[in-house]
Amino acid sequence: MKASSADQLRLLEVAELDARIRRAENARSNPPQASRVKDLLAQRQALSQELTARLGARDDLRMELSRIESDVAIVDARTARDAERLAASSNPKEAQGLESELASLARRKSDLEDAELEVMERLEQADASVAEQEALIAQTNAEGAELSAEAKRVVAEAEASAEAAARDRRAIAAGIPGELLALYENLAARGAGAAALRARTCEWCHMVLSGTDLAVLRRADEDDVVTCPECGSILVRTGESGL
């Protein structure tokens, strides 16, 4: 195939724009923040499960404290009742029984108050544990929200870049002969489209051409369309090719 040097050079511009479009599409479909956001979602799920367990433990302690407080109230009521009966009683035997029951109630209240203090301490620790877990979740959510916003910005920039590159590509491709452009696009669909030959090296596959391959290129006319013997891309020769 024959094509002017100018048309072949335009292929390099198209190839660069295609590479820019690929990078933009990759950034759009897989922004760099996506992996961390995914990790944060899994982390938040684990933290939420732990929070549920801690809330359950705190609720159990609250119920236990409520039960103890109810028992204390019952003991206080019975103590007040027995004290009132004792004050009004003139029966020594009845008075002795009431005094014994009041002593028992006093011991019971002391035990309940000790248990109440213990549960209150455990409840204070449980409240702190819940607050700590909620803070971790809030921190995770804040980081996730920040990364998500950043990812949206990256995606928006990638879309704008891809659109601009596609627009420039259409303008440049319109000036390339159809047969040459079709060859490039056929090759590009398989990976290698067009690359400059610089310092005897293909800039697509980075292979340094052998002496035999270079001799073939030297014999080729300036408007011959040549390809890399390694990757098959169209080799565009310039003053820097080293021929």
Looking at the structure of the chain, the number of domains it has is 2
Helix (H, G, I), strand (E, B) or coil at 216: helix
Residue of 206, 69, 225, 55 lying closest to 137 (CA atoms): 55
Q: Write the pLDDT tens digit of every residue in 86-115.
A: 888 888 888 898 899 999 999 999 999 999
Quick one: 80 and 43 in the same domain?
yes
Mean pLDDT, contiguous 10-residue spans, the chain (243 residues): 92 94 91 92 96 97 97 96 88 88 95 96 97 97 95 94 95 95 92 91 93 90 92 92 83
Quick one: 195 and 229 in the same domain?
yes
Domain span holding position 80: 27-161
**Residue 200 is assigned to a structural domain of this protein:** yes
Quick one: 98 and 140 in the same domain?
yes
Residue of 213, 208, 194, 205 lying closest to 8 (CA atoms): 194
Report the pLDDT value the prediction gives residue 46, as an integer from 0 to 100: 96
Listing from the earlier edge strand, what are the strands of the sheet with 194-198?
A: 201-202, 194-198, 234-237, 226-227
Q: Write the pLDDT tens digit of every residue in 113-152.
A: 999 999 999 999 999 999 999 999 999 999 999 999 999 9
- Distance of alpha carbon 183 from alpha carbon 208, whole angstroms: 23
Give pTM, 2 decimals.
0.66
